[in-house]
Amino acid sequence: MAELGITRVAPADGAFYVWADISEFTDDSAEFCQRLLAETGLAMVPGGDFDPVEGHRFVRMSFAGSSSDMQEAVSRLGKFLQR
């Protein structure tokens, strides 16, 4: 994630989810997630669903898929963030 510019990521703590700060890219995680899905087919959950105060800066993403699916997801996310 750091290679993509997402440097603040909470430890997964045994789960298949990442809690990532995307404030370098947006201050509206809901809008970010909508655009990401529409433009890349990747789905993430806006942070506001988990933290009504600071969640607008965060997204939750799952990494429960196969390694090849995760590589493809990182590639798509990287292209999206470079726009």
Query: What is the pTM for the complete model shown?
Result: 0.85
Band (15; pLDDT cuts 50, 70, 90): confident
- Tell me what the mean pLDDT of segment 9-30 comes to: 87
CB atoms within 10 A of CB 73: 19
Three-class SS state of 46: strand
Domains of the chain as residue ranges with CATH: 2-81 (3.90.1150.10)
* pLDDT at res. 3: 78
Band (26; pLDDT cuts 50, 70, 90): very high
Band (34; pLDDT cuts 50, 70, 90): very high
- Tell me what the mean pLDDT of segment 46-71 comes to: 93
- Compute the distance between CA of residue 33 and CA of residue 67 in angstroms, rounded to an integer: 22
- Compute the distance between CA of residue 57 and CA of residue 62 in angstroms, rounded to an integer: 17
Element containing residue 71 per DSSP (H, E): helix 67-81
Band (75; pLDDT cuts 50, 70, 90): very high
